[in-house]
Amino acid sequence: GRLPGVAGVHGEPWREFRTKVQKPCLQLHTVKKYIKPIEDVTEYFIQRMQEMKDENGDMPTDFDNEIHKWSLECIGRVALDVRLGCLDPKLTGDSEPQKIINAAKYALRNVAILELKMPFWRYIPTPLWSRYVNNMDYFIEICMKYIDSAVEKLKTKDSSSDLSLLERILVSEPDPKTAYVLALDLILVGIDTIS
């Protein structure tokens, strides 16, 4: 079925989705759970920034990508319940985190073109549309991998008092599609908005 997210819809579909995810997202104990992990990621990133400076104290020319890595590491911790390893100094261009960043940047920069210009893609699959769909398929695949893993971990969890955001969504909405869409929204919008 079709399950819209918060970012790409308006009106009643937006309200329905927001209603499903609002309570788990805004509970104080859920928010508090991420203060220390995000603080740890940020402190590590600050250390990495010191290491990245050149002899003049300047950051590398691709520093914006480093900020994308930091934001994805933070968002991945919240949306997918994992550290993705984005801040590894030996991260390669074909690594999963870098592919996620590249796909997010591509999607965000081209969604307006697809939506606002003449929608030829509705009649014939244009190259832009095909690549956009491939990017979204990659996101869905990644989200499913980590969320399906969280579903398995949740089955063996002893206590329901210390649940992560993802686990709270999965408990309140047994269909993992809600968690997939929330994670996708958080990653897509978060990478670009934060950085």
Looking at the predicted structure, is the pLDDT value of residue 7 above 70?
A: no
More confident of the two residues 1 and 18: 18
pLDDT digits (tens, 9 = 90+) for 63-90: 999 999 999 999 999 999 999 999 999 9
Of all residues in the chain, the percent with pLDDT exceeding 70 is 91
- Across the range 12-40, mean pLDDT stands at 86
pLDDT digits (tens, 9 = 90+) for 37-58: 999 999 999 999 999 999 999 9
Q: Are 27 and 71 in contact (CB under 8 A)?
A: no
**Of the candidates 141, 154, 132, the residue with the CA atom closest to the CA atom of residue 184:** 141
- Across the range 17-40, mean pLDDT stands at 88
Looking at the predicted structure, is the pLDDT value of residue 194 above 60?
A: no
Separation between Cα atoms, residue 160 and residue 154, nearest integer Å? 9
pLDDT digits (tens, 9 = 90+) for 108-164: 888 888 888 888 888 998 999 999 889 888 888 988 898 889 888 888 887 676 888
- Across the range 97-105, mean pLDDT stands at 88
Separation between Cα atoms, residue 52 and residue 95, nearest integer Å? 19
Q: Are 76 and 117 in contact (CB under 8 A)?
A: no
pLDDT band at 10 (very low <50, low <70, confident <90, very high): low
pLDDT of residue 71: 93
Query: Tokens 């991260």 sit at which residue?
Result: 91
C-alpha dihedral (144, 145, 146, 149), degrees to nearest 10: 110
pTM of the complete model: 0.84
Separation between Cα atoms, residue 43 and residue 36, nearest integer Å? 10
pLDDT of residue 17: 79
Q: Are 71 and 194 in contact (CB under 8 A)?
A: yes
The Cβ of residue 44 has, within 10 Å, a number of other Cβ atoms equal to: 13
pLDDT band at 1 (very low <50, low <70, confident <90, very high): very low
pLDDT band at 8 (very low <50, low <70, confident <90, very high): low
Separation between Cα atoms, residue 27 and residue 127, nearest integer Å? 43
Residue 20 falls in which region: left (phi positive, over 0), alpha (psi -120 to 50) or beta: alpha
Cα–Cα distances in angstroms (integers) from residue 118 to residues 113, 121, 122, 130, in the given order: 9, 8, 9, 16
pLDDT band at 9 (very low <50, low <70, confident <90, very high): low
Q: Which residue ranges form the domains of the chain, and what is each CATH number?
A: 11-194 (1.10.630.10)
Helix H segments across 117-164?
Answer: 127-155
